[in-house]
Chain A
């Protein structure tokens, strides 16, 4: 099947606008992750879902960031009142369950590059 897909690939927002970034995980993958990657840096964890439950949101930088996965499949990362420091690539990853190598691998999408002007 298809890999992880994300949309839009590019988003330009004016400061103060709200944005919504979508992630379609690999079918059947129960775990879904969001990461934020600033220019020239490694990705940093934002939040994690297992099915529809958000089990870890410790990486969300402020209460302007909100993520949901209501039916345990597609996820949306919403950023309210965007600021220039929110400019980054937002990566989504998914994985299935289990500790074996093949099931433990996080598969990443191509990311959404957000630019806040």
Chain B
């Protein structure tokens, strides 16, 4: 079974600075997808960024980018120019490509943004 590990329970960043959240995963599959979701206190899970494993190019979405290292099974999220609205719980998630429907989530990282 696939597992997702987020080793940082909590991170802090100064407003306008850059922060990187770590995620590692374990799988024997070659076709899969990786996601970062943001969950603010309202509990609404919002997709931040998505990466297909077969693509070598790292995904980017405005201030959010990933560092996808397939051989190392690492998928970190970099947030540039951090804003107060970025404060939330961030979850890394895995989905199998061949059989995949369900998401397998990590335990999450709380991100605090200081003004």
- Which residues does A use to contact B, with CB under 8 Å? 31, 33, 35, 40-45, 48, 55-56, 59, 89, 91, 93, 101, 104-111, 113
Contact = CB atoms under 8 A, between A and B. Distances in A.
Interface stretch (B44-52, B65-73, B79-87): B44-52
A101 B43 CA distance: 23
A33 B102 CA distance: 8
Contacts of B106: 42
B103 A89 contact: no
Given A89-B43, A110-B44, A41 B107 contact: yes
Nearest to A111: B43
Contacts of A93: 45, 103
Nearest to A6: B43
Chain B interface residue number, banded:
20 to 34
B90 to A, nearest CB: 10
B42 interface: yes
B44 A108 contact: yes
Given A41-B107, A113-B43, 9 more contacts: A33-B101, A42-B4, A42-B91, A42-B105, A48-B102, A93-B45, A93-B103, A105-B47, A108-B45
29 contacts: A31-B101, A33-B102, A40-B108, A41-B108, A42-B4, A42-B105, A42-B107, A42-B108, A43-B45, A43-B105, A44-B105, A45-B102, A45-B103, A45-B104, A48-B102, A55-B101, A56-B102, A91-B43, A93-B103, A101-B50, A106-B47, A106-B103, A107-B47, A108-B46, A109-B44, A110-B42, A110-B44, A111-B43, A113-B43
A100 B14 CA distance: 35
Contacts of A45: 102-104
Contacts of A89: 43
A110 B44 CA distance: 4
Nearest to A50: B101
Nearest to B92: A42
A90 B69 CA distance: 32
A43 B91 contact: yes
